[in-house]
């Protein structure tokens, strides 16, 4: 008896769950408790008061009425600086979401994320996924083919280059093209403005052209507008060969940079955010090959179309500037290169300009606008100095 009293059997220790039980929380209706933030957990350790009950709808099976953990997706307009789906929500939904506050109905905050703060956009009717894949339904169905590799978009991108070559071979001049581009640009831009104002139009637009769109273009402007604007600028203001070359660099170098950057960009250093060294090298090599084919074979093949105001800026000769020749005491013949040397130099310059134009970020503008404009300005400036 003395030994049994001395060595008593200890009581079974109480295991405390990290999440509050229904009795502790004071609400046993549904047995649901949302995620708790770290700061509220530290505050709850300091005070002994119990959590007020969470007023939830009884239909807990509806995914729209279940609280979600805060998503990192930029499409959810839950905090400061987040993008709002202005083109996808009705005016009533936008005004209502601005008044929502992640607090309980009685005005108190207990550290839990309130189900009432859920952002209800019409695109959740298409896809319940909180990821950006829910914006365009076809991207969710064809994730690898359309969303990851953007095959339809790349086919359209590359086909513009072949269309440009076809128009050149048939004798179409740039003075005939830029008017058509401007005619197409105006209604397409107006359609984009309308679809961002009326979400029903945007829904129909996405269902028709979702395979050719990126997620950022759902709430932003379509890249076709930037493409047409950039093509119109170079066709309107640049010489014929430089204008055609700028479109070819946009069509093929940008596609090559995107393709090789997605495949091997993680193995090379990053040039800037979203741009890798592998993509820049691919753009440079593609630009060199394109320039060799254009100025070395295809351009001179249809030289009968290149007279007067449609003459090429590159005539197969590159020379040092006049000031450099006088400073070095060289004649024009001594300070110039022709034939394959000039073609090779011009091609390397075109590749470097294309790679730099693809890697640069100018005020966050679409590269479909910046690449042709920068390529046209760079090539024309190079020829102004060295010809």
User: Is the pLDDT reported for residue 337 higher than 50?
Assistant: yes
Cα–Cα nearest to 136, from 40, 229, 202: 202
Give dist(CA 287, CA 254) in Å, integer.
10
Q: Is pLDDT above 70 for 369?
A: yes
The answer on pLDDT for 309 being more than 80 is yes
> Mind listing the pLDDT tens digit for each residue in 240-264?
999 999 999 999 999 999 999 988 9
Question: Lowest mean pLDDT: which of 83-87, 134-138, 383-387?
Answer: 83-87
Is residue 283 within 8 Å of 354, Cβ to Cβ?
A: yes
pLDDT band at 364 (very low <50, low <70, confident <90, very high): confident
Query: Which of 128-137, 138-147, 165-174, 242-251 is predicted least confidently?
Result: 128-137
For the chain, what is the mean pLDDT?
A: 76
More confident residue, 377 or 31: 377
Whether 346 shows a pLDDT value over 50: the answer reads yes
Helical residues (DSSP H) of 89-239, grouped into ranges: 91-99, 123-126, 137-141, 151-169, 174-197, 199-209, 216-219, 223-237
Asked if pLDDT for residue 303 goes beyond 50, the answer is yes
Q: What Cα–Cα distance (Å) separates residue 290 from each residue in 12, 132, 182, 228, 300? A: 79, 36, 26, 21, 14
**Dihedral sign for Cα atoms in the order 280, 284, 285, 291:** positive
C-beta atoms surrounding 292 within 10 Å: 19
Confidence (pLDDT) at 217: 83
Looking at residue 118, its pLDDT comes to 41
**pTM given for the model:** 0.65
Q: Is the pLDDT reported for residue 212 higher than 70?
A: yes
pLDDT for res 248: 96
| pLDDT beyond 70 at 73 | no
Amino acid 110: pLDDT: 53
Rounded to whole angstroms, the Cα distance separating 45 from 78 reads 28
Position 386 scores a pLDDT of: 94
Average pLDDT over residues 86-107: 45
pLDDT band at 387 (very low <50, low <70, confident <90, very high): confident
Q: Retrieve residue 256's tokens.
A: 């090559």
Residue 68: pLDDT over 60: no
The pLDDT of residue 94 is 43
Does residue 103 have a pLDDT over 70?
A: no
């Amino acid at each position: 008896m003395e030994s049994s009293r001395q060595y008593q059997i200890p009581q079974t220790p109480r295991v405390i769950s990290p999440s509050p039980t229904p009795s502790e929380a004071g609400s046993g209706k549904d047995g649901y408790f949302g995620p708790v933030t770290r700061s509220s957990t530290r505050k709850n350790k300091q005070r002994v008061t119990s959590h007020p009950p969470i007023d939830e709808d009884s239909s807990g099976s509806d995914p729209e009425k279940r609280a979600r953990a805060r998503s990192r997706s930029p499409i959810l307009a839950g905090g400061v600086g987040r993008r709002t789906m202005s083109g996808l929500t009705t005016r009533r939904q936008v005004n209502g979401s601005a008044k929502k506050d992640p607090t309980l109905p009685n005005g108190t905050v207990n550290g839990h994320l309130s189900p009432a703060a859920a952002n209800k956009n019409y695109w959740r009717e298409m896809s319940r996924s909180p990821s950006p894949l829910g914006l365009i339904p076809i991207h969710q169905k064809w994730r690898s083919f359309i969303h990851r590799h953007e095959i339809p978009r790349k086919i359209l991108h590359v086909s513009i280059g072949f269309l440009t070559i076809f128009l050149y071979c048939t004798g179409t001049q740039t003075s005939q093209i830029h008017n058509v581009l401007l005619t197409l640009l105006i209604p397409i831009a107006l359609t984009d403005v309308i679809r961002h104002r009326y979400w029903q139009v945007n829904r129909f637009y996405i269902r028709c052209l979702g395979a050719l769109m990126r997620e950022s273009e759902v709430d932003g402007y379509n890249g076709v507008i930037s493409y047409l604007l950039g093509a119109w600028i170079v066709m309107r203001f640049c010489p014929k060969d430089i204008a055609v070359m700028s479109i070819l660099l946009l069509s093929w170098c940008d596609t090559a940079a995107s393709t090789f950057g997605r495949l091997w960009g993680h193995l090379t250093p990053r040039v800037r955010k979203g741009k890798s060294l592998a993509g820049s090298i691919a753009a440079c090599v593609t630009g060199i090959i394109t320039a060799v084919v254009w100025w070395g074979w295809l351009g001179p093949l249809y030289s009968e179309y290149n007279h007067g105001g449609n003459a090429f800026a590159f005539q197969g000769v590159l020379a040092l500037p006049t000031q450099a020749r006088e400073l070095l005491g060289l004649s024009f013949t001594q300070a110039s290169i022709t034939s394959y040397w000039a073609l090779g130099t011009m091609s390397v310059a075109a590749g470097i300009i294309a790679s730099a134009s693809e890697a640069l970020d100018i005020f966050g503008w679409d590269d479909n606008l910046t690449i042709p404009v920068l390529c046209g300005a760079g090539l024309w400036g190079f020829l102004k100095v060295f010809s």
